[in-house]
Chains A and B, each alone.
Chain A
Amino acid sequence: MRWLRANWLRALVHLGALAPLFFIVLDNYRYNLTANPIQEITVRTGKAALVLLVLSLACTPLNTVFGFREAIRVRRALGLYGFMYVALHLAIFVVLDYGVNLQLIGQAIIEKYYVIAGFAAFLILVPLAITSTRGWMRRLGRRWKTLHKLVYLAVPIAVLHFALLVKSLGSRPEPLIFGAIVLGLLALRLPTIRRASSALRLKNRSPLPNRAQGSRAD
């Protein structure tokens, strides 16, 4: 119980991030993957990937702007789970959808803009996933942070990938909603906003240093 109180967010992240995979497996056996199961699992893994990557982008502003420090502890897990679904999504496309037919896949990459965008986002995420370990953080030092800023590029490209494949954006605004959220999360990183919010929090805080307080009431 005490463990759970201390780690509830981490537990929630692991459970929540594995849930889409669990339901794919469950629905596979219950024959509940629609008449077009390949499309269904493609969409499900894609959406899970996007949601998790967006959540991983939310961790930093949750800390810097809203002072929710716990968020930083789940950032890596969210990012890696996001990448897991990206990899599954790509594997489904290559193996199940196109039957590893490299000629057809090559043609699809040339003709379908959303394939190019999706593949680009994947390629950007690969080095980030590889260097997500503590060892690589140490080895790369300050460059690690620079490298991982590439996620600011990968996630918008992933949203573009989504926007490019809906039938008509005017009537299906989901990608636009994702786009707006991502834009907002990136904006919260602007130094002016960060400074303003931390100044505001400092003003509301008691003069005692944060660590000595045990729990933060702000």
Chain B
Amino acid sequence: MERIRSSEITPEHVYLSRRRFMRLGALALGSMALAGCGGQLGDVISQRAAGDSSRPQAAAEDNASATPDVKRDELGNPANSLETISTYNNYYEFTEDKEGVAQLAANFKAEPWKVTVSGLVSNPRTYDIDDLRRKFDQEERIYRLRCVEGWSMVIPWLGFPLAKLLKEVQPKAEAKYVRFESLLDPAQYPNQGPFSLYPWPYTEGLRLDEAMHDLTLMVTGLYGKPLPNSNGAPLRLAVPWKYGFKSIKAIVKIELVAEQPKTLWNTLAPHEYGFYSNVNPQRPHPRWSQATERRIGESGRRPTLMFNGYEKQVADLYAGMDLQANY
């Protein structure tokens, strides 16, 4: 057997960097074909995801230098644009097509609007949307929204903590859960027609302590303006540590109940969409991983954070709970 001279063996660092080089080369070649041509894909490719190890934090920095006054979440992630946020929506009452919602929602009647808060409360009330806007200070919260489908955005919501509203109606001791209900109106929602395959109206639920958590926001606006119809005007929920479908839109009814309420997605596919639906990279959806996500506006993938990055604030709510079983 011929001896291999040590000078012929590729040193490890060269070998590793060569591999890295090849990876970058493949990436560059593929991307160049598109980026070189420009257009929308070219733009996205130039925004690599922060989770891409070849250029950590690239997206945030790129955006920072380009637009210094962009809004950011507490982790430094730039917010998506109003246009992106209001034209890419899962709002199945209109259509299952995310890009089709904005147009179909254009003539949605979000005023006048009433919300009933009832059930196990000492002080049941019906609010006009304007009452809510006036009564509770509207504050901006820049939250990450992680969709169960594997994409995410950063959104500057305007609203008030649900806790403030609940304190006013005074939940009774037996109240353990909060049940939310969306508008049922086939005249306005094309997909609520007689052939719809969904058990409308859309319903969601939270445990009372989750509902009382300061992060849980009743949303009335976006980017300092009234909420666009496509985002669930005039009133929606934002629960940033849970998958996006928990943040119910166009709320007409809030009910305090003793038993865990039924929710639309949980009713449709109980094994796939649990009642809690906390963002959890270690708990894959039965058919796909939840370990990574695509931030809208970037190419590549970001690692998904436990409780969507709100672990410090909300982990206590689930102390001692098996999050694999209670997904």
Question: Which residues on A are within 8 Å of B, measured CB to CB?
Answer: 27-29, 31-39, 41, 91, 95-102, 104, 107-108, 111-114, 164-165, 167-168, 170-173
Contact = CB atoms under 8 A, between A and B. Distances in A.
B324 interface: no
B287 A165 contact: yes
A111 B34 CA distance: 29
Nearest to A113: B287
Interface residues of B, number: 48
B294 A38 contact: yes
B168 interface: no
Pick from A95, A111, A170, A173 the residue with the most CB of B within 10 Å: A95
B197 to A, nearest CB: 4
Contacts of B294: 36, 38-39, 97
Interface string B38-71: 1111101100110011100000000000000000
B172 interface: no
Contacts of A98: 300-301
A36 B98 CA distance: 10
Interface stretch (B5-13, B24-32, B115-123, B124-132): B24-32
A112 B84 CA distance: 28
B268 A171 contact: yes
A97 B40 contact: no
B301 A113 contact: no
B324 to A, nearest CB: 14
Given A34-B98, A99-B48, A171-B197, A112 B287 contact: yes
A38 to B, nearest CB: 6
B301 A35 contact: no
28 contacts: A29-B38, A31-B40, A32-B40, A33-B40, A34-B88, A35-B84, A35-B98, A35-B99, A36-B98, A37-B40, A96-B30, A96-B299, A96-B300, A98-B300, A99-B27, A99-B52, A100-B26, A101-B52, A101-B53, A104-B292, A107-B291, A107-B292, A111-B284, A112-B287, A168-B269, A171-B198, A171-B268, A173-B197
B110 to A, nearest CB: 22
Contacts of B80: 35
Contact of A112 (B151, B288, B296): B288
Contacts of B288: 111-114, 164-165
Interface of B: 23, 26-27, 30-31, 34, 37-42, 44-45, 48-49, 52-54, 80, 83-84, 87-88, 96, 98-99, 148-149, 151, 197-198, 265, 268-269, 272, 284, 287-289, 291-292, 294, 296-297, 299-301
A28 B37 CA distance: 9
A32 B198 CA distance: 29
Contact of A108 (B268, B287, B289): B289
A107 to B, nearest CB: 6
B87 A35 contact: yes
B11 to A, nearest CB: 22
Contacts of B37: 28
Contact of A99 (B151, B272, B301): B301
A127 B150 CA distance: 32
Given A113-B288, A114-B287, A28 B41 contact: yes
B79 to A, nearest CB: 13
Nearest to A27: B40
Nearest to B297: A35
B291 A97 contact: no
B151 A36 contact: yes
Given A36-B151, A96-B299, A107-B289, 13 more contacts: A36-B294, A36-B296, A95-B31, A96-B300, A97-B294, A98-B300, A99-B27, A101-B52, A104-B301, A107-B291, A107-B292, A168-B272, A171-B96
Contacts of A91: 30
Contacts of A167: 148-149
Nearest to A173: B197
A116 B52 CA distance: 23
Contacts of A111: 284, 288-289, 291
A170 B49 contact: no
Contacts of A108: 289, 292
Contact of B39 (A31, A95, A113, A173): A31
